[in-house]
Amino acid sequence: MENKNLTKQNYWDETYKNLTFFKPSSFDPINRLIKKYIKKTTEEKTIFEVGCFPGRYLSVFGDLGYTLNGIDLTPRVKSDLPKWLNNCGYKIGSFYQEDFITCQNQGVYNITCSFGFIEHFTNYKEVLIKHISYVSNNGYIIITTPNFSGFIQKFLHSTFDKENLKRHYLPSMNPFDWKEIIEKEGFEILYCGWWGGFDFWAEKEGNGYLGKIIVKLLNISGKLLRFIPFNSSFFSPYSVIVARR
């Protein structure tokens, strides 16, 4: 498969170079999504995250009893991430510093997932199909992307977050496109749509004094409105699918 990635690897390497590992809060929408559909296990079950660094959602699966595996190109995925996860008391499998697009299949897992990966690729459908090849029988696939293509989200990001927006392929952010592909592979769809109430984040605080104030206000309002009891393609921050083979 050809690598049609809109984001250069050095961007991620610089972003992650000095990052401090952390677990997501109990209020984090993706944390809540995982715990809604994935139950705690005492069996030997595995999870494989594509684009796994910095591993905050791996920690959620670790708390649920899964053996953790992942792949990423950034160097700290081999040197630092497994050490942190191990220090948290989780069961550790294999971590690969490889390009997921060109790597050979590393087996199948009870859960295969990515949280903000396929939207960086213009050939996102091929990337999604490769995810599917890592899912075991009766296993789960979980895919999320930001929803920058929703009318309100697109307006906000094109106004206050332009450079970040350019690194994302907006046509990839429709979960009902993913649903067609995943259903053809024999999966039962457990959830397909948008998630997270309303939220907004920007890579930078915004341009100019007024822009910085507006972005801060949007960030504050987003933290409050992520708990509204409905989701919409117009304003919800995440596109999501959860399915079982």
Q: Whole-angstrom Cα distance, residue 73 to residue 199? A: 29
Structural domains in the chain?
9-148+168-199+232-244 (3.40.50.150)
pLDDT in tens, 134-190: 999 999 999 999 998 888 877 877 777 778 778 889 999 999 999 999 999 999 999
Predicted TM-score of the model (pTM): 0.90
Report the C-alpha gap between 96 and 26 in whole angstroms: 28
Instruction: Quote the pLDDT of residue 105.
Output: 77
> How confident is residue 48, by pLDDT bands cut at 50, 70 and 90?
very high
Tell me how far apart the alpha carbons of residues 21 and 219 are, in angstroms, rounded to a whole number: 22
- pLDDT, residue 154, reads 79
Residue 56, SS3? helix
Strand order in the sheet with 238-244: 92-97, 67-72, 46-50, 109-115, 135-146, 238-244, 188-195
